[in-house]
Chains A and B, each alone.
Chain A
């Protein structure tokens, strides 16, 4: 698998998380009467941001270790030749 799906998921959720956090901090707070007085954008945005960054980190790590494994496999092959 050449592209780790955690990378686009991580990026999308990080962006959505940032948008919601910013809106929760800077937007009109009267809209939260609807959500029982809870600033749901700020809280849920932060959760999504942490999740997005976590997914991105895991995806990056997997891509790096995949490249290392592929590199050593091809090195081993050329030694064999």
Chain B
């Protein structure tokens, strides 16, 4: 990186911290800190709703999946996000926002009972810490792998071995400062800034890559058709790159996993709860859905371009070759201990798909836009981290500390606790990042456990919001049964070619799935179905809740929001129709 690249990176840090400093004086109550004073316009919340999800998994992971699976990765957007974002905006937001709950676990207490809230709050708090730590770890590891900071470290006499540690510490301190000072408002404002930076940093990649290949037609001519079709071949797992069939895809990803994340995860729902009115809260996910619909062109397409290009060595800024590529710009994956290419089950060297987007940046961007691209990459990691930290400090303070440890303290005390939670939440995240570095298997196992906990959640919310007979005992036992079903399904199945253990089959192997993705989707389907059925059965066997206490929390007992006074283009229903038609069109174009 040259001076101009450093200047752009420095400017970004200055603005991000400056926003926190500017908002410090305006953060006077716990509502200001945790809920941004419920005063943020819909478009700002909408972009933050999207940006909070734009962590490491999104940019690097989707680019990697694009390189591996092709345009079929867009199912994670067009099937796996948009319908759920529409559903939460149209049907669920009236209950989240209208109930005046301050968090998703608090909604569960209002609708069900304390134990259901406790289960959700504690598992969510632990999960956010680990997710934030993984984001931090991924960022530091990437900086280390790309060697972009080696030269400046050498010039100041510091060994490049310190890059990993300094990367973790810098990102932690920056996120800590701006959230500590300005709370959720600061996180949301920075997420909007980060959103525009990510678009500005990655859009020229798609432009230059497509120009190089002669447009979409040129790209298609260079690749197997399975890379450029999203639905063709989905009739059978063997005829598409994902290794799943259409039913598993639509039910597992499009319904259970997608609705479970976008409709119940407080990390994203918190952004809508900060909106200035009910109408703005309902529009939040719908506004976010518009750019989300087009994000495959920003993060997936560069990955596909990276495999379509003729093989060329990717050079570092210092001029030395990063790694010799195997296919396009995708280099071999190196074994961490031996340094030799890692070998797959067939004895072939594996490709490091995670380097698809970074390799594209180094391949096409000269100094100047390179600084912008690297800044965009760092911004994506930080927005993902900050989203987790703000969700953690709110759930910790309202749903754990206020509920179980100190119920009757002053508002100023909870504001203080929110700031303290930001500090120790980030400290724990740093611990999680180092744990990921040392014990990869433990982190894989934890992520697996979180997946089991998350899988059944949407069944609980769906029944809770749309069936007034659902009881607290029903919800709690449904959640436990659903999590158990997910674990059991994983224990009895295995993806083809995998060894029993972390990948499944740790009790017995009763069924083999064609791919790990198919196994994940079906684990979610089993968990959701079990939770749904157990919740209904236990609810019918236990005492019905008092209907007077459910007003504003359940569909049939809540007045519909009146939005006739709004212009047609501001009404959630109109936005939903436009976004669904747009998504449908994209599915047809890339059929």
Contacts and interface: CB of A to CB of B under 8 A. Distances in A.
Nearest to A40: B369
B363 A34 contact: yes
Nearest to A48: B200
Contacts of B39: 1
B503 to A, nearest CB: 41
Interface stretch (B10-18, B338-346, B407-415, B504-512): B10-18
Given A8-B193, A38-B208, A15 B11 contact: yes
B4 interface: yes
B369 A41 contact: yes
A5 B44 contact: yes
A53 B321 CA distance: 39
Determine chain B's interface SS by DSSP, over half rule.
Answer: helix
Interface in B42-60: 44
Contacts of A5: 44, 189, 192-193
Contacts of A15: 11
A52 to B, nearest CB: 9
Contact of B15 (A12, A20, A23, A48): A12
Contacts of A11: 15
A54 to B, nearest CB: 12
A19 B4 contact: yes
Contact of A12 (B11, B23, B204, B367): B11
Nearest to A15: B11
B368 interface: yes
A40 B11 contact: no
Contacts of A8: 15, 18-19, 22, 189, 193
Contact of B8 (A1, A16, A31, A40): A16
Given A41-B369, A44-B369, A23 B208 contact: no
Contacts of B208: 35-36, 38, 40
Interface residue range, chain A: 20 to 34
Contacts, number: 84
A40 B366 contact: yes
A44 B211 CA distance: 15
Interface string B178-209: 00000000000100110010001000100010
B212 A9 contact: no
Contacts of B12: 12
Given A23-B4, A34-B364, A1 B369 contact: no
A71 interface: no
A49 to B, nearest CB: 11
A45 B4 CA distance: 13
A19 B41 contact: no
B61 to A, nearest CB: 25
Contacts of B276: 1
A27 interface: yes
A61 to B, nearest CB: 14
A56 interface: no
A36 B6 CA distance: 24
Nearest to B15: A12
A24 B368 contact: yes
A26 B26 CA distance: 43
Contact of B368 (A1, A9, A20): A20
A34 B372 contact: no
Contact of B211 (A9, A36, A41, A48): A36
B26 A44 contact: no
B169 interface: no
B466 interface: no
A48 B201 CA distance: 10
Contact of A31 (B15, B212, B367): B367
A27 B372 CA distance: 16
Given A3-B23, A13-B200, A16-B8, A34 B18 contact: no
B7 interface: yes
Contacts of B40: 1
Nearest to A16: B8
Contacts of A44: 200, 204, 369, 372
A34 B361 CA distance: 11
B193 A20 contact: no
Nearest to A24: B368
Contacts of A16: 8, 11, 200, 372
Given A9-B193, A34-B364, A34-B366, A19 B204 contact: no
A3 B44 CA distance: 12
Interface in B365-382: 365-369, 372
Nearest to B200: A48
A3 B192 CA distance: 14
Interface in A23-76: 23-24, 27, 31-32, 34-36, 38, 40-41, 44-45, 48, 51
Contacts of B363: 34
A1 B185 CA distance: 10
Nearest to B191: A5
A46 B276 CA distance: 35
B364 A9 contact: no
Contacts of B211: 36, 38
Contacts of B189: 3, 5, 8
22 contacts: A1-B39, A1-B40, A1-B44, A2-B26, A3-B189, A5-B189, A8-B18, A8-B19, A8-B189, A12-B11, A13-B196, A15-B11, A16-B11, A16-B200, A20-B372, A23-B368, A27-B367, A34-B364, A36-B208, A36-B364, A38-B208, A40-B208
Given A20-B369, A23-B368, 14 more contacts: A1-B40, A5-B193, A12-B11, A16-B8, A16-B372, A20-B368, A20-B372, A31-B366, A35-B365, A35-B366, A38-B211, A40-B208, A40-B368, A44-B369
10 tightest A-B CB contacts, nearest first: A31-B366, A41-B368, A23-B368, A12-B15, A5-B189, A34-B366, A40-B369, A20-B368, A5-B192, A44-B204
